[in-house]
Structure 1
């Protein structure tokens, strides 16, 4: 993974820390706004920086929590331009599947869950909401 320039890294870390604090205090919408700001600071190509994956994952998860399924789905598309050097265990597909499921795009969700299942040899469902495995099996 490439390292961000120190000044950019410091800014992103400060923004993400503030976002985490807002999230912990129940200010989820404000948390997302800061994560989007952090995302905008990551230079192109964003995928060479590990921060890109974590920011998108947190945005998608928080949007699902807020039941803003359209935004979660739109952000889930960005997950595939992140974490180029991550070991591919189906995490990206699982995140996209959750967003598609939340939006009611069940055929697409099933497809993404299937890819995640194959890549992870089924481990992608461990520790996750059981509704996803139940949906995938049926």
Structure 2
């Protein structure tokens, strides 16, 4: 796989660090703007770069935390199409949670099960217990 130009890599990394700081402080709007800038720096085809996985994953995560479940769903689905996205337990978890919040229960159950299979109970530890409870209504996981 090709490597990003060092300058672009450094810029994307810096925007990601700043975005994480903003997200951690609850400034989701600014965080999304920073990750959006990072996304724009990726050369085409954007989804071919490893950085695309974490940039879209961060956009999806922040959108979810901000209550924009449709934007979270779209970004997280995109992240799964990037290098090492498919099978990433966190990405599947957040996508499943967004789908659940959107009322797409069958798709949510599929994604939440993928997260469970890759990360076990621990992947659910820091999130609302309703997601694991929902999964238990769809699968025998105990």
Return 5+ residue gaps in structure 1 as ranges: none
Flag the 1:126–1:27 CA change in 2: closer, same or farther, 3 A: closer
Structure-1 separation of matches of 2:25 and 2:64: 17
Q: 1:2 to 1:127 in 2, by over 3 A?
A: farther
Instruction: List structure 1 runs of 4+ shifted beyond 4 angstroms.
Output: none
- Say whether residues 1:104 and 2:92 are aligned partners: no
Distance in 2 (alpha carbons) for counterparts of 1:96 and 1:24:
20
Alpha-carbon contact 1:19-1:30 (below 8 Å) kept: yes
Change in CA separation of 1:123 and 1:4 when aligned onto 2, cut-off 3 Å: farther
Q: Which piece of structure 1 moves more, 3-12 or 18-27? A: 18-27
TM-score, scaled relative to structure 1? 0.80
RMSD: 2.5
The alpha-carbon deviation at position 2 of structure 1 amounts to: 4.2
Deviations 1:46-94 (A, max 9, x none): 444332222122111111111111211121221122223x683544432
**1:84-129: CA deviations, max 9, x gaps?**
3x683544432321221122211210122233334x2735635342
Q: Could you say which residue in structure 2 is the equivalent of 1:54? A: 54
